Amino acid sequence: MGKRNRRGGRERPGPAGFLVVDKPRGQTSHDVVDAARRWLGIRRVGHLGTLDPQATGVLPLVVRGATKLAPFFGSGNKTYVGTVHLGAVTDTLDGEGEVVKRHEGALPDEAAVREALKGFVGEIEQIPPMYSAVKRDGVALYKLARQGEEVEREPKKVIVDSLELTRFDSPDAEIAVKCGSGTYVRSLAHDLGSALGCGGYLASLRRLWSEPFGIEVAHSFEACEEAARAGKMDDLLISPEKGLDLPVIRLATQGVRRVENGGDISPGTLERSKPGTRVSALNEEGRMIAVLEIRADRRLWPVRVLPA
């Protein structure tokens, strides 16, 4: 018998894991979460990093007990391909907003764009867009923006590992971006336009990688709908230990009981591993039960225990 969900019904039992969805354009990340709840017949679903409604691509979801693993994915790297439209600025910094400024002169050539991109590689500062989920005094900035308000935002440091021009067909410049968590590609597009003196906004965006999940393991909305109709949604899940990609150990029944009750266990062959080393612990049936960490006392302690 499944657990009761918040609406009083019974949740459909099944394995914990990750569902990687190829998010379609026009859907919010929360729209996808709601759809996954419907597909799986459960409430315990969350996502590992917001994608703007206009963006498509990799959106990893955590399902059932794997929701407890979300904190382990907060700082993963991302890879995108996007199109910057030069010569105009919008209030949302992307193609969904209203144009607030147009450039009347000649647009920069390909060489100028390539040169300008070099200035956005490495550790840079970004000012979060007004149309973002960043909160000010407990209120999301996008809610203030919809009310016509604009407030001062503190710049934050982000890491851009690489930023390349992959195609140039003026006024559109296609870019490939590898960056750290928290980077706004919309802001990169806007700041690139400012650096070039002509303005620019992000016309399209596709996420190809959200560490550790790539587009090759993502399922389309249509594939998920079809699997749901066939009662095979659980077949699309990536197991928790594969998603975490930590070393794996298997525990006997006694060790499982100690871990599930918050107790420590012997490190076994991991005795010589340095403190801070983490592993995924599986029971004898192969179900992941916890993330364990070697502490200074050379014992394995549970960092996160998954519900049975």
Q: What is the largest CA-CA distance in the chain?
A: 74
Residue with tokens 């699309």: 236
| Residue 3 predicted with pLDDT over 80 | no
Length of the chain in terms of residues written: 308
CA distances from residue 135 to 20, 139, 211 in whole angstroms, order as listed? 27, 5, 25
| Residue 8 predicted with pLDDT over 50 | no
207 by Cβ neighbours in 10 Å (0-12 / 13-18 / 19+) ranks as buried
21 by Cβ neighbours in 10 Å (0-12 / 13-18 / 19+) ranks as buried
Comparing CA positions, the residue from 223, 216, 217, 213 lying closest to residue 39 is 223
CB of 300 closer than 8 Å to CB of 292: yes
CB of 267 closer than 8 Å to CB of 294: yes
Mean pLDDT of all residues belonging to the chain:
89
- What residues contact residue 259 under an 8 Å CB cut-off, 6+ apart? 251, 265, 281, 289, 290, 292, 302, 305
**Whole-number Å distance between alpha carbons of 291 and 308:** 14
Comparing CA positions, the residue from 205, 70, 306 lying closest to residue 60 is 70
**Whole-number Å distance between alpha carbons of 305 and 150:** 43
* pLDDT class of 119 with cuts at 50, 70, 90: very high
CB of 259 closer than 8 Å to CB of 291: no
Residue 47: per-residue pLDDT = 93
- 52 belongs to the catalytic site: yes
Average pLDDT over residues 45-69: 93
Residue with tokens 């039992």: 13
Structure tokens at 114: 């390539």
**Which of these ranges, 8-17, 32-41, 48-57, 199-208, has the smallest mean pLDDT?**
8-17
CB of 281 closer than 8 Å to CB of 262: no
| Residue 261 predicted with pLDDT over 90 | yes
Domains and CATH numbers, the chain: 17-75+213-239 (3.30.2350.10), 78-210 (3.30.2350.10), 246-305 (2.30.130.10)
* pLDDT class of 18 with cuts at 50, 70, 90: very high
Active-site pick, 52, 94, 137, 234:
52
